[in-house]
Chains A and B, each alone.
Chain A
């Protein structure tokens, strides 16, 4: 369905240049749900924007790679073709609904427009469908809400408008960048059910970018953990949650709160500062913050490869053997 190979993206500023994504590869089967988690600033959104031809260039630049979607390379198809795919076969939920929605157009018009463009509906049909879609994402009084403007919606309602637009044309691929951060967990649950239903009915493939480990645990087949523009670990969710092999993945799972706070307690946080992409250390970018780092981690970047003794497709970029080290530390 989607095959990304060696996607590389850089940003320049004030004469300096940073490769924020040095070469990302992964592929998705039809109907698969990929959950991408990772460091804030690790290139999750930038990689999605690059796939969609929406990277601001300059200062950004796609330096190379391929992204084959149903036989076409998204990185080289003409802009007109991309526009046709976006909102049609590829649905998108942007991280920032307030900037992605047009503030001076009614919500109804913004949902109806792609339906008219991609599905050839009349205005009337499109508005009727927009009402159904708003109701489907759990917005009450949908018909009357259509004539409101984005600023009259709450944060979570705007996110749901984005979701309604993204699924309106029944896309083959949905790229959703933190689509449910502003939703309460009951509404979020409804949205996730809706996604499962679309996946069942249409074979929809999903890339779901999130920081919510619980959501990933629930909907993703595969989890991909990113740090400094690289995939640190990737694999079936059960395998990765049960036995993480990257110290970064492990650090993330350690940071989650469990139950009530003991008096004076503090959450575990990964020591050190996030990397400066303009000045990355050699070797494994996580090494300076990794208590398990070996000599080699500081000089040579580990390749992403199959984890020995785990299920096929469980990949990690690590020179060290995390389960053994954790065992020893106990």
Chain B
């Protein structure tokens, strides 16, 4: 086993909203003790309930938000113990594709400049002409016409914007990438192109990919391991095939039973297993237990 490139230990983040119309403010334990490890070249799929803390986990790992507890160790260095200035050299090695492509783009910047920005900031990619070629190449890589470099974000369709975000994130050839729902707005052929691209980057550069997604068929296809989140916690994790073939947690089972099948006849006959995510209570003192060969399930399931 390779030493982990990324090691996340007991990460926690709670949000407190101001008191509103209906009395007391809302306390949301968005991430409630999340731990996982990733090795170079590995793809971990992070799936789970909408609102279960996947994006928050991604932002905490990237250091875009401070955790309330826990740590993030990247390449042997504890990032959580560092000042933003000390973290700077790691920025280049860790990148993120945000879930909301429009919010992530700068509306007043031509998208070509937006993709070039990290090259400029980290002073790679040579002179202006070389940099332009590099950006054009990145555009082609994500299936965009380089002529689009001159455009502004509002001139794009949803999927075109999403690809601009991907082009920027891979510009510096990071070692680690958080991709938060990176392909949802893309047609399935371009999804295939991006997924193939991720695989190329893994094989060529050893990219480690944290793939946050709802498309479980794609997770099964792309990822080596998967972690399932529910209400801020990981309830099951393990090698993709082990989890898909032998899901143990009732939430994982419900999730897998709900995957739509791209075949009208079979899809209309499919039955979803019920699971009451709101009513579910975590067993007291529950912890992830290893069923063997790295297949973990929250105790009591």
Contacts and interface: CB of A to CB of B under 8 A. Distances in A.
B244 to A, nearest CB: 8
Interface in A255-269: 255-261, 266-269
Contact of A217 (B184, B218, B267): B267
Interface string A272-292: 011010100000000000000
Interface stretch (A75-83, A175-183, A318-326): A175-183
A41 B157 contact: yes
Interface string B267-295: 11010100101100000000000000000
A95 B185 contact: yes
Interface in B239-282: 240-241, 254-255, 258-265, 267-268, 270, 272, 275, 277-278
A37 B220 CA distance: 23
B160 interface: yes
B160 A214 contact: no
B63 to A, nearest CB: 19
Interface string B148-160: 0001001111111
B64 to A, nearest CB: 14
Contact of A98 (B17, B55, B100): B100
A56 B152 CA distance: 14
A95 B158 contact: yes
Given A183-B214, A238-B264, A211 B181 contact: no
Given A155-B55, A189-B272, A253-B262, A218 B199 contact: no
A243 interface: no
B75 interface: no
A201 B143 CA distance: 43
Contact of B258 (A38, A44, A46, A189): A189
Contacts of B265: 238
B99 A155 contact: yes
Interface string B13-30: 001010011111010000
B35 interface: no
Nearest to A289: B189
B255 A184 contact: yes
A157 interface: yes
A160 B49 CA distance: 13
B47 interface: yes
A108 interface: yes
Contact of A252 (B102, B187, B216, B254): B187
Contact of A259 (B51, B156, B160, B220): B220
Given A238-B264, A238-B265, A252 B189 contact: yes
A186 B254 contact: yes
Given A13-B155, A141-B26, A260-B220, A184 B47 contact: yes
16 contacts: A13-B151, A40-B163, A40-B187, A40-B190, A46-B157, A56-B154, A147-B20, A155-B50, A182-B184, A215-B260, A217-B268, A241-B262, A255-B188, A255-B189, A257-B195, A267-B191
Interface of A: 11, 13, 37-42, 44-46, 56, 59, 95-96, 98-99, 106, 108, 127, 139-141, 143-148, 152-157, 160, 178, 181-189, 211-218, 237-238, 241, 251-253, 255-261, 266-270, 273-274, 276, 278
Interface of B: 15, 17, 20-24, 26, 47-52, 55, 99-100, 102-103, 140, 143, 145, 147, 151, 154-160, 163, 181, 184-193, 195-196, 199, 214-218, 220-222, 240-241, 254-255, 258-265, 267-268, 270, 272, 275, 277-278
